[in-house]
Each structure stands twice: as C-alpha cells, then as structure tokens.
Amino acid sequence: MGGLLVVGGSYAAVNIVIGAREAGYDGRIRLLSAEPHLPYQRPPLSKAYLQGKDDEAMLAIRAEAFFRQQQVELMLGRAAVQIDRDEGCVRLEDGSVLAYDRLALAIGARARRLPVPGADMQGVLSLRSLDDARLLRDQLAEAERVVVIGGGFVGLEAAASAIQLGKQVTVLESQDRLLARALGVPLAEFLAAAHQRRGVALDFGAQVAALEGDLGRVRAVRTADGRRFAADLVVVGIGSIPNTELAQAAGIACRDGILVDHFTQTDDPAVFAAGDCARHPGRTGERLRLESVQNAAEQGRVAGANMAGRQFAYEAVPWFWSDQYDLKLQMAGLAAGADRTVRRGEPAEDRFSLFHYRNDRLIAVESVNRPAEHMLARKLLAADLHPPPALVADPSADLRVLLAEIAAVTAASPRR
C-alpha cells in the first residue's frame, strides 16, 4: 500500500502530516520536497533573517525529531515531475516512482518574474525561498542603493529591513498606492507615511521599462517615463504564480490555483491540495487563493484529517499579519467591497484598528499594534456577529462584552 504521500515542504505540508496523525491515521506517510531543507518558516526571511537577527537553525517549523516521532519519511531534495493518477503514483526527477493511496499537493507558489529587459542580470533578486533569502542577505551586505519593485507585503518588509540596515531604499509601485489588493485605503496611506518617515522613498504609478547595468550586473532601474533610479541591488516583489503545472499535466482542474472543494479535495477523490497553491470556496461563496501562514496551516490540517477519512470542511476566517519596523499589522477577514469604515484608536500613536462594513455587516478588521482587537475581530467574524458601527466608533465602549455573545453562539452551534 502506498499510504499518504505529501508533496511540498512548508506549513501546509507539515500540517497535513499533523492533521492526519491527529485524526488517527497510523499508516505510512511520506513527505516529498524539492528543497533540501527541513520545512521552514518563511515570514522571517524578509525580516529577522534578512537583518541577521535569526539564523537558519531557528527557521525550522518542526525539528527532525518530530518527523521521526510521527513516523514520517522525509524525502528532501527530491522533485516530483509527474502524477500518474491511473497507476496511483508520482514519478520523481531521478526516475524513481512512489505509489500512493492518497496524495496531497502542498507545492506553494513561486515569485512572478519581472518581464522587462535586464531582469536576468546579477543583483536582481526575488524573495520566496531560503535560498533566495541567503543570496539576498549576502548581497544586501555589500549594497548601498536598493530599489524594491512592488509595494506588496514582501517588498515592503524587505524595504523595512534594508532601511534599518542603513541602506538607501526606493520602492517603485505601479499602482497609485501600496497594497491596493490587500488593504483598505486608510491603512495603506498610514503605512506609506510610516515608511517615508523612516527614510524609504516611495514612487507610485511607476512602470518599470528596463533594468540597466554593466558587466552583467544591475546598476539602475529605468521607468517608462524615462526616469532612472540608481541601484546596486534590485528586489522584485510583484506577486506570485501558483505551482499548478504538476496538477494540470495530470488533468486535475486548475484556475489560478488547484481547485479544491470545502473538504480540500480536488476533482480526483484521491488527490487533495492545500496552501498557496490551492483555490478553495470562501465563506461567502467566492473562490479564494490565500497566501498566508494561517491559511496554509489550518487548511493543511483539515486536508490531513480528511485524507485520514474524516469529513471536515475548511471554513476558517482568513487572517494575515506583517511586521514592519515596530508596527505589527494584523488583518482579519477581507476588506474588499466595504462601504463604511470605523476607526478605533489613533494612527498618530501607531495604535488603531479599522472596522470595515458592507451593508452594516462587519467583513474585516485591520489593526496596527492592537492585538487584542485583532483576536476579538477573528472571533466576531467566525461567529458572524456584527457590532453596530456606532458602538465601535465609541471609544468608551468595551467591545469585550461581545465575547459573551460569541460564547453563546459557539455553544449553540453544532459540533463537527
């Protein structure tokens, strides 16, 4: 028997293993990863690791002893190249074949490449993997002028790390504000001002036309309007592409991600998917592909349990975070489509939350250095509770009184 085969090497893969064992699966589990490293944490790569505060030993999600204890066979540094669904096996790059009874794809996403001349020069780097981070950290030590292309989370975290290391940093963003797809306008404007106060130059509406250099190394970024930004190092953070090729070649349905149902199952009942590579039904019916540790971990655990024979639906409230400077950004829910925003706290004090509503229903909360409100927001959204905007706007109101309602709703809900 082939048992469970997990393809991938990060949060989703590890949590699939955990979910399966917690659900009582006692058969064979193999974890196959193209990377040679133990599954590792990725958020520190653009922050503490890049700044030299964390070493690689601190990055492992679980120690090697954990996998031994869980009787998981680690197959690191070995890449899958083909899924044969008829035979129930995966073929590897080295020619070997692994049989499976159930297969999990936790193969993540890769950095989107910059499609302009000069993008393949030395000194032009993305940040997605540990190997990327090693290279970036080494080259950042020698650089003076850093240009970050893209004002998303990874780009801004890299910019924050670089400016704290004493570099001259410019962020070029093609949109008219930061994080246009991820954050509401008020928080995006606050974040832009926070970076500018610390010395980061922000340039919006910047369309990169080419990278210029000499002797094969980048020296400048040129925009479509003819401006030139000197650079010793260019960090490209313009989004990601889900790794769907393995699934697509096997005839598994994909659309900007591997399509899964509420139970993390693909259109092949023996194949599951979780994490950055998976597109799943959201709580309100839309399909989502979320790139966050929370999504990978919680969805992975559900997938593992279901591979073990359970029937758990993945219904978690999306939440995210980003650490930049001394700012902890925490987001619960999805703010797109909000028609009203209520603020608690003061941006001038770097401590506030933004409660986003649509038709007087709470759909998301964005917090800066307000972890208690973030935790409350996750509970409110999970329980489908909607505090009136007027109550939220009252600084004297104690929102914790809603916890009793949350507890009552939770107690009344059927257990899965």
Q: pLDDT per residue over 55-102, tens digit each?
A: 898 999 999 999 999 999 999 999 999 999 999 999 999 999 999 999
Nearest to 243 by CA among 87, 30, 13: 13
pLDDT computed for residue 416 by the predictor: 42
Of 205, 238, 271, the residue at which a domain comes to its end is 238
128 domain residue, yes or no? yes
To the question of pTM greater than 0.85 for the whole model, the response is yes
Q: How many domains does the chain have?
A: 3
Q: At which of 238, 266, 282 does a domain end? A: 238
pLDDT at residue 284 greater than cutoff 60 = yes
Same domain membership, residue 117 and residue 234: yes
Asked if 253 and 259 touch (Cβ cutoff 8 Å), the reply is yes
Q: Quick check: is 151 in a domain?
A: yes
If we measure between CA atoms, which residue out of 148, 194, 185 comes closest to residue 168?
Answer: 148
Does residue 13 sit in the same domain as residue 86? yes
Structural domain span for residue 391: 326-412
Based on the fold, state whether residues 127 and 213 are members of the same structural domain.
yes
Q: How confident is the model at residue 412 (pLDDT cuts 50, 70, 90)?
A: low
pLDDT in tens, 314-339: 999 999 999 999 999 999 999 988 99
Nearest to 324 by CA among 207, 183, 145, 205: 183
pLDDT band with cut points at 50, 70 and 90 for residue 405:
low
Please check whether residues 172 and 228 belong to one and the same domain: yes
pLDDT per residue as tens digits for the range 45-67: 999 999 989 889 899 999 999 99
Are residues 215 and 247 located together in one domain of the fold?
Answer: no
Average confidence (pLDDT) over 172-192: 93
For residues 269 and 266, what is the distance between their CA atoms, to the nearest angstrom?
A: 6
Report, as an integer, the average pLDDT of 298-311. Answer: 97
Of 205, 293, 245, the residue nearest 15 (C-alpha): 293
| Residue 249 placed within a domain | yes
* pLDDT at position 403: 63
One domain, residues 161 and 247: no
Same domain, 217 and 259: no
Among 57-61, 391-395, 401-405, which is the least confidently predicted range?
401-405
128 shares a domain with 101: no
Q: Mean of the per-residue pLDDT values for the chain? A: 94
Q: Is the pLDDT of residue 389 over 60?
A: yes
320 found inside a domain: no
Q: How confident is the model over 9-30, as a mean pLDDT?
A: 97
Q: Is residue 54 in some structural domain?
A: no
Average pLDDT over residues 106-110: 97
Average pLDDT, integer, range 193-213: 97
- Residue of 45 and 404 predicted with greater confidence: 45
Q: Is residue 321 part of a domain?
A: no
Express as a percent the part of the chain with pLDDT over 90. Answer: 87
What percentage of the chain exceeds 70 in pLDDT? 96
Is residue 50 one of the residues assigned to a domain?
A: no
Give the pLDDT score at 2.
Answer: 86
Same domain, 119 and 209: yes
* Domain shared by 220 and 118, yes or no: yes
User: Would 202 be classed as within a structural domain?
Assistant: yes
Last residue within a domain, chosen from 218, 238, 258? 238
Of the pLDDT bands very low, low, confident and very high (cuts 50, 70, 90), residue 153 is: very high
Q: What is the pLDDT of residue 243?
A: 98
320: tokens are: 């995210």
**What pLDDT is recorded for position 132?**
96
pLDDT at 400 over 80: no
Are residues 213 and 187 part of one domain?
Answer: yes
Domain check: are 24 and 164 in the same one?
Answer: no
pLDDT of 415 > 50? The answer is no
Query: 265: domain CATH number?
Result: 3.50.50.60
Specify the amino acid at residue 156: L
Q: Between the CA of residue 112 and those of 45, 52, 70, what are the distances in Å? A: 17, 26, 35
Average pLDDT over residues 12-28: 98
